Chain A
Amino acid sequence: MNDLTQTIYVVDDDEAMRDSMTWLLEGEGYVVACFDSAENFLKARHDEMRGCIVLDVRMPEMSGLELHEKLDGLGSQLPVIFVTGHGDVPMAVSALQRGACDFIEKPFHNEDLLSRIRRALELDSQLSARRERDGAISHRLDQLTQREREVMQLVVAGKLNKQIADELNISMKTVEAHRARVMEKMGVRTLAELVKAVMSVN
């Protein structure tokens, strides 16, 4: 499921590593962009980037881990594959805990790297699809009126129409009308679908 807009961003201070990585990945048909330092990558980064980052852990100045931290802070959801010369387990654990996608130790077999890259790209695709869907639900939610949203929240919470009417101090008929309009606006047919849609956004 190769998304043509996806790019592999290689961040490594060793020129030979960048060059050879590019050679390898381009041979596989990926789009590769190289950066010789974390700073340069940060300069180039934008929210529309799609794909994954292959990040060398040990670099002068800003290290790979620091860059990862910064990207998290910026809300980047690009999967990160760390490349390290030292199989440093505690470091790997902390990196993975912070949401790194994967971790590979040099020297690595090219298939290992490629399979990790594939997995990362797939994750990226899922994330972007979900972002789109969430975007749609959010859009629909935005169209609800204040009263409809209140009714919807109580419906999702599992309250009966009568309870809702009492709570909001409105008539049963009004509740039913609001409920029907919520279902319509949210593009769902059953209560279960509504709950799923609302939960996915939250």
Chain B
Amino acid sequence: MADAARAAKNFAMLMRPPTPQPKHTRLWLAPYVAIGIFALAMLVLTALLQWRELDTARSALEGDMHWAERTIENRLHAHQDFLAELGREQEFKQLTYEAFQVKASRYVREAPEIQAIVWVDTDGKVEWVAPNEATAVFVGEQLGGERLAALQEALRVRRAVVSQDYRDATQRPSHDIIHPVQRGSADLGAFIALQSLETLLRATLPTVFTTRYSLTVVDAQNRELLSNSSVKPTDRQVSGQISLELPNNRLGLNIVAYRVGGAWLPFVPAALITILTLIASVTLIQLRRHAHHRAETEEELRAAYAFRQAMSQSLITGLRAIDLEGRITFVNAAFCRMTGFDESELVGIKPPYPYWPPEEFDRLQHNIDTALAGQAPASGFEMRIMRKNGERFDVRLYFSPLIGTNGQQIGWMASMNDITEPKRARVELERAHERFVTVIDGLDSAVHVADVQTGEILFANRAFQNIFGFDSVGQNSAQITAACRPAPEWLHHDPATLSADELPCELFDGEIQHALSGHWYHIHERAIRWVDGRTVRVQIGADITDKKHIEEVNLQQQKRLEQTSRLITMGEMASSLAHELNQPLSAIANYCAGCVKRMQAGNYKLDDLLAAMQKASDQAERAGKIIRRMRDMVKKGDPNRQPIALEELVDETRAFADIDAQRTGTQIVVDLPDNLPKIVVDRIMIEQVLLNLLKNGIEAMGDVPVERRLLTLQAQRVDERMLEITVADQGHGLAEEDIEKIFAPFYTTKAEGMGIGLAICRSIIEFHQGRLWVEPRREGGTVFHFTVPIEE
């Protein structure tokens, strides 16, 4: 648990910015320079020390050399003095052999380098030898060579001489110290001391000296005579030469100090310093590399942090980390934004969290328990939480384990999405889809969509599935709908070859009978672009079986109605004419009754009576005309069609219409083009139609100002068969819904109208293979059109 807490802390640290790196400088060179200077100083110091040591060694050598020189010279001087003492005794004949023997033996014992002391005559013949046991020379032995030459030289110069060096019997380098003895000018002989160089050195120089230095004895010609050199290496830097000036001889002593501690010793400190410097440099380079790497890593970390921070801040998804006990360890900006709480208000809090609405406590507690137990569903929790201001909103929370750097789980990371809007959109979408499906499924028509290329049915509504099977989606449209499908050659276009620009495009619109059920369908098929871009055929099939049946019934009913209508029409026409007849008849009756009354009373003027009778007569004629018209109309089973000029027909009709026109102040304008062909019609019938239309027009303008009461009658040739006549008024016009109804029997817009007129008119015109229709006039009012055949 402590580990986990530490890891959580680490995680929190991770989410905080690392300290910024110092600026790049040349500072990193300093250690290198320091190391370089230090190494250099050490090397110099070492060199100085070595130089000083060398100097000391040289000084010691010099001292030693002087000491050795003096010692050797003293020794040699001592030998010469001893020989000189012997010589003096010999000169003065005080020396006997025995004395010589004693003195010389004693001396030889003290000076081991002297192998023997002999007394030779002037010719070089050995006479005395001391000590007796000496082996280097024997009595009677004749000196020869250089030794003799040296003897003679000594005798000649009358002072001690040292012979050239020679090898004695044991091949050791030796020389003779020759001291001539003369008495007066006579040569007596000479005392000679045979001195071994090797022993001289051994005897004169202490062992300390010989172990410290390599000694080499050279003669005057610088030839090496003797060397005590051992295998030990020497130091040429510490060397010197002692020159021993002997009478008639010169010996050189080369002294070279043995090297102390081997040849490599002087280089050890330098090597060590160099090695240490190298190690230090390498280490430093490694360190620098490491630091560089570290800096890079830090830079990466910083970039990663900044990236993560930006990501975290810019996320619209709320992030919340909790430890294993549910304590909040981290929240991002979006989470704070969503809940309205500050980070400080949330971090460190254990459930229940402040954004839990009280009414959701139990559910949310259950959710968090589930999540902490690691059983959060992959689809997350959908829950309602509360902003700080109390506003509720819906979120979806996804849990994922939070793994620490040591690989152990340290808590749970939850991402929170505000799904209020998506939820609303989803609900809206679902509703829209539901509506769509409801509407589509609610249709009677079978609707289906099939891919043009594969024929696969992509969509089918309930009506389609009812007919063709509930598993039809996904199957091949051509197979499924084979029983009721337009043949490919019936289609307006081949849907497979349509390009995207040509869509949507109608493919088929027609009626097809289902081969199996016998039902009739009105199939409307279009090619459209489907939601995924491919071309599909949308087919809408409406079952029109019932409609077709109704149409047939309607047709029959229509026929019956027409027959009935014709009967009614005749009756109505009679009724209408009877009404018209009432007027003149009533008038006649009135005139007559008036005349009778006056004549009965005897109170009359003849002129008045005549005028009245004349008027009665006129009315009788009017009645006659009406009767004739009625008879004409009734008698015709077959219309009496004859060619007649339209002008003539219009004139006759106007005679009737003018009565109403004058009364209402309506102006009737007849505007006919010249050279109109004759029309072939039943005159009375068309006159009746025209009269009806004119009267309608006059009545329609009853409530417009008098100056606007203008009725226009025009005619024009439509084609070689028909002539069109129009009657236009400027009245109140017709309401939209009245336009078609006015031709229906018993329909009227007039208070006391019978509602028969226009129905009859249409019947009459249709009887003539013409057409009667009405249009609203653009400037107000109504225009009636009818067509009648013309003479061929």
Contacts and interface: CB of A to CB of B under 8 A. Distances in A.
Contact of A85 (B582, B591, B595, B622): B582
A24 B597 contact: yes
B613 to A, nearest CB: 10
Given A13-B663, A36-B663, A61-B702, A107 B597 contact: no
A106 B582 contact: yes
Contacts of B597: 24, 27-28, 110
A27 B609 CA distance: 11
A110 B582 CA distance: 14
A63 B595 CA distance: 30
B63 to A, nearest CB: 171
Given A61-B703, A85-B579, A20 B590 contact: yes
Contact of A60 (B590, B598, B615, B660): B660
Contacts of A177: none
Contacts of A132: none
A58 B699 CA distance: 13
Nearest to B660: A60
Interface string A103-114: 000111110000
A167 interface: no
Interface of A: 13-14, 16-17, 19-21, 23-28, 36, 57-58, 60-61, 63, 66, 85-86, 106-110
A43 to B, nearest CB: 15
B472 interface: no
B615 A16 contact: yes
B13 to A, nearest CB: 101
B693 to A, nearest CB: 16
A20 B591 contact: yes
Most B CB within 10 A of own CB, among A20, A58, A110: A20
A27 B608 CA distance: 11
B590 A24 contact: yes
Contacts of B595: 23, 27
Nearest to A25: B594
Given A16-B583, A19-B615, A106-B586, A24 B593 contact: yes
A85 B583 CA distance: 8
B615 A20 contact: yes
Contact of B751 (A21, A28, A63): A63
30 contacts: A16-B584, A16-B587, A16-B619, A17-B587, A19-B615, A20-B588, A20-B589, A20-B590, A20-B619, A21-B590, A23-B590, A23-B591, A23-B594, A23-B615, A24-B590, A26-B594, A27-B594, A57-B752, A60-B663, A60-B698, A60-B699, A61-B702, A63-B752, A106-B583, A106-B585, A106-B586, A107-B589, A110-B593, A110-B594, A110-B597
A17 B583 contact: yes
Contacts of A26: 594
A106 B752 CA distance: 16
A14 B583 contact: yes
B619 A24 contact: no
Most A CB within 10 A of own CB, among B583, B601, B612: B583
Contacts of A16: 583-584, 587, 615, 618-619, 622
B579 A86 contact: yes
A6 B593 CA distance: 22
Given A60-B698, A109-B589, 14 more contacts: A13-B663, A14-B583, A20-B615, A20-B619, A21-B590, A23-B615, A24-B590, A27-B601, A61-B703, A85-B579, A106-B583, A107-B585, A107-B589, A110-B589
Nearest to A91: B752
Contacts of A23: 590-591, 594-595, 612, 615
- Of all A-B residue pairs in the complex, the 10 with the closest CB atoms, nearest first, are A20-B590, A110-B593, A23-B594, A16-B587, A20-B587, A24-B594, A85-B582, A27-B597, A106-B582, A27-B594
Contacts of B222: none
Contacts of B618: 16
Interface string B701-726: 01100000000000000000000000
A107 B582 contact: yes
B664 interface: yes
A19 B587 contact: yes
B616 to A, nearest CB: 8
Contacts of A63: 751-752
A27 B598 contact: yes
A17 B663 CA distance: 14
A40 B613 CA distance: 29
Which size class do B's interface residues fall under?
20 to 34
A24 B597 CA distance: 8
Contacts of B703: 61
A58 B584 CA distance: 15
Contacts of A61: 664, 702-703
A16 B616 CA distance: 9
A86 B612 CA distance: 26
A150 B279 CA distance: 145
Given A60-B664, A86-B579, A107 B594 contact: no
Given A60-B660, A61-B703, A14 B751 contact: no
Contacts of A109: 589
Most B CB within 10 A of own CB, among A27, A61, A63: A27
B702 A108 contact: no
A110 B590 contact: yes
A63 B752 CA distance: 8
Interface string B629-645: 00000000000000000
Nearest to B664: A60
Contacts of A110: 589-590, 593-594, 597
A54 to B, nearest CB: 11
A156 to B, nearest CB: 47
Nearest to B600: A27
A110 B590 CA distance: 7
A20 B583 CA distance: 11
A113 to B, nearest CB: 8
A107 B752 contact: no
Contacts of B612: 20, 23
Contacts of B586: 17, 20, 106-108
A106 B589 CA distance: 10
A70 to B, nearest CB: 14
A17 B616 CA distance: 11
B582 A60 contact: no
Contacts of B579: 85-86
Contacts of B615: 16, 19-20, 23
Contacts of A85: 579, 582-583
A13 B589 CA distance: 18
Most A CB within 10 A of own CB, among B584, B593, B618, B619: B593
Nearest to A108: B586
Nearest to A109: B589
B752 A58 contact: yes
Contacts of A20: 586-591, 594, 612, 615-616, 619
A20 B612 CA distance: 8
Contacts of B699: 60
Nearest to A64: B752
Nearest to B699: A60
A11 B702 CA distance: 18
A14 B580 CA distance: 11
